[in-house]
Amino acid sequence: MKTPERTETPEKTTPVGTRERIVRATSRLLQRQGYEGTGIKQISREAEATLGSVYHFFPGGKQELAAEAIRHGDEEFAVLLRAGLGSSADIGEAVVTCTGMLARELRASDWQDGCPISSTALETVGRAPAIEQAVAAAFANWRAIVTEHLVAAGIGAEDARELAGTVVSTLEGAELAAQIARSEEPLLVTGKHLARLLATYR
Amino acid sequence: MKTPERTETPEKTTPVGTRERIVRATSRLLQRQGYEGTGIKQISREAEATLGSVYHFFPGGKQELAAEAIRHGDEEFAVLLRAGLGSSADIGEAVVTCTGMLARELRASDWQDGCPISSTALETVGRAPAIEQAVAAAFANWRAIVTEHLVAAGIGAEDARELAGTVVSTLEGAELAAQIARSEEPLLVTGKHLARLLATYR
DNA sequence: GTCTATAACGAGATAGAC
DNA sequence: GTCTATCTCGTTATAGAC
Q: pLDDT tens, A109-118?
A: 999 999 999 9
Residue-wise pLDDT for A24-49, tens only, equals 999 999 999 999 999 999 999 999 99
Question: Please, which positions of strand C sit below 7 A from a protein CB?
Answer: 1-6, 10-17
C-alpha pair distances (Å), A88 with each of A96, A105, A175, B127: 10, 20, 22, 38
Using the CB atom, is residue A59 less than 7 Å from strand C? no
Nearest to B123 among A34, A180, A200 (CB): A34
Euclidean distance between CA atoms B181 and A151, whole angstroms: 23
B109-B115-B116-B122 Cα dihedral, nearest 10 degrees: -130
Euclidean distance between CA atoms A35 and A32, whole angstroms: 9
- Give the number of C-alpha atoms closer than 13 A to the C-alpha of residue B109, restricted to the C-beta side: 19
Using the CB atom, is residue A128 less than 7 Å from strand D? no
Euclidean distance between CA atoms A186 and A169, whole angstroms: 14
A51 touches chain B (CB under 8 A): no
A14: confidence class by pLDDT, cuts 50, 70, 90: confident
Contacts of A119 in chain B (CB under 8 A): 34, 119, 122-123
The dihedral region occupied by B100, where left means phi > 0, alpha psi between -120 and 50, and beta the remainder, is alpha
| pLDDT tens for the 202 residues of chain B, in order | 344 444 344 444 678 999 999 999 999 999 999 999 999 999 999 999 999 999 999 999 999 999 999 999 999 999 999 999 999 999 999 999 999 999 999 999 999 999 999 999 999 999 999 999 999 999 999 999 999 999 999 999 999 999 999 999 999 999 999 999 999 999 999 999 999 999 999 7
B136-CA/C8-C1' distance, Å: 40
Chain A residue closest to B133 (CA)? A180
Contact B145, A169 (CB under 8 A): no
Nearest to A169 among B122, B125, B170 (CB): B170
Euclidean distance between CA atoms B178 and A128, whole angstroms: 17
Q: Which domains does chain A have, with CATH numbers?
A: 62-199 (1.10.357.10)
> Which B positions 75-114 lie with beta carbon below 8 A of chain A?
110-112, 114
Euclidean distance between CA atoms B177 and A140, whole angstroms: 10
Shortest alpha-carbon distance between residue B155 and chain A (Å): 15
